[in-house]
Structure 1
Amino acid sequence: MDRIETQASGGCQCGAVRYHVTAVLDTSHICHCRMCQKAAGNFFAALIGVPRDAITWTRGEPATFASSDKAARGFCRACGTPLLYDYAESKHINLTTGSFDEPARFAPKVQFGLEGRLPCFADLPLKAEGTTEETMAAYVGAIKATNHQHPDHDTDRWPA
């Protein structure tokens, strides 16, 4: 695993938990295992390794759930956003890629947990059908006007 020096921030949906990293590992991946599916509440979890000495919690800290005797899952206790997978014996933790402010910087390179992969993801056959604004046109104005989501950048305090 190569260490890649970088500067990146992220956090939960409500902004109660924020972090900054100064390095990542070249391990960006998705995991299809059943435990990751349940932890993410989704078909898979997208994760990237971060050396323990390269992460600073800049606002709050994640709550954790011991998903096994060897690993814990971290999340925001206020909004529930999944934030990390921590295998206690590892020299790194895995942050959820989607919790980064710029998740596109860390595209997955490999898939794990294939025993849990749903058949529809063997070859993703879905067509793209438009932006949120296009598919949710009747609701976008009301959602934007009452948005409680933290912006994708660090703030001095939140809520504003």
Structure 2
Amino acid sequence: MSETTSDEDPHEGGCLCGAIRYRLKGLPRDVVHCHCSLCQRSSGALFVTWATVDLRDFELVMGEPASYRSSPTAKRLFCPQCGSQLFFHIDDDRRIDVTVATLDEPDRVTATRNTWVDTRREAAKGFDRDLPDYTDEGPESAHH
């Protein structure tokens, strides 16, 4: 018998080495492929897929992430042991962004748009053509 999950079930995730674990209550409110240059540099990838959740729906279960202030008003949080980029948080915001690839079941969420496409790398052009492209954060901003 196979077990099924629903969008209301918690989403759990963590870093590569397992030192940091987190839990999200319910479905993330916004999921985007961010092509900004800061996401590219911080991840070493062509883009980062983020899921935005309300802070009240986010729980750090194990470990303590390190942080790097990537702009005057925001920081990126990562595992100090393995370096996995995990979260993005703007000061005083009631939301937090989680890297979708660190979810235990990343296929439970689906991106709705590509953002900051003016800095999209040539190798990623044409990626996810079915999604709208935005030169900024687009509607329902996830603020990367």
Match of 2:123 in 1: 120
Match of 2:4 in 1: none
Residue identity opposite 2:94 in structure 1: K
Q: Does 1:68 align with 2:39?
A: no
Conservation of the 8 A alpha-carbon contact between 2:54 and 2:95: yes
Q: Does 1:82 align with 2:85?
A: yes
| 2:10 match: secondary structure | strand
Q: Tell me, in whole angstroms, the C-alpha distance in 1 between the residues paired with 2:56 and 2:108.
A: 21
Q: Does 1:8 align with 2:11?
A: yes
Residue identity opposite 2:97 in structure 1: N
Aligned length: 122
Residue identity opposite 2:31 in structure 1: S
Shift of 1:5: 4.1
Q: Tell me, in whole angstroms, the C-alpha distance in 1 between the residues paired with 2:105 and 2:28.
A: 16
**What's the TM-score once normalised by structure 2's chain length?**
0.79
Q: Tell me, in whole angstroms, the C-alpha distance in 2 between the residues paired with 1:26 and 1:53.
A: 12
Match of 2:49 in 1: 46
Shift of 1:93: 0.5
Question: Which structure would you say has the larger Rg?
Answer: 1
Instruction: Give the gaps of 5 or more residues in structure 1.
Output: 125-160
Query: In terms of mean alpha carbon deviation, does 23-32 or 60-69 score higher?
Result: 23-32
The 1:81–1:33 alpha-carbon spacing in structure 2 relative to 1, beyond 3 Å, is same
Identical aligned pairs, as a percentage? 31
Residue identity opposite 2:63 in structure 1: G
Q: Tell me, in whole angstroms, the C-alpha distance in 2 between the residues paired with 1:114 and 1:72.
A: 21
Match of 2:25 in 1: 22
Q: Tell me, in whole angstroms, the C-alpha distance in 2 between the residues paired with 1:106 and 1:40.
A: 20
Residue identity opposite 1:48 in structure 2: A
**What's the TM-score once normalised by structure 1's chain length?**
0.71
Return the match for 2:108 from 105, 110, 127.
105
Q: Tell me, in whole angstroms, the C-alpha distance in 2 between the residues paired with 1:24 and 1:91.
A: 16
| 2:38 match: secondary structure | helix
| 1:25 match: secondary structure | coil
| 1:23 match: secondary structure | coil
Residue identity opposite 1:77 in structure 2: P
Conservation of the 8 A alpha-carbon contact between 2:29 and 2:53: no
Instruction: Give the gaps of 5 or more residues in structure 2.
Output: 1-6, 128-144
Residue identity opposite 1:110 in structure 2: R
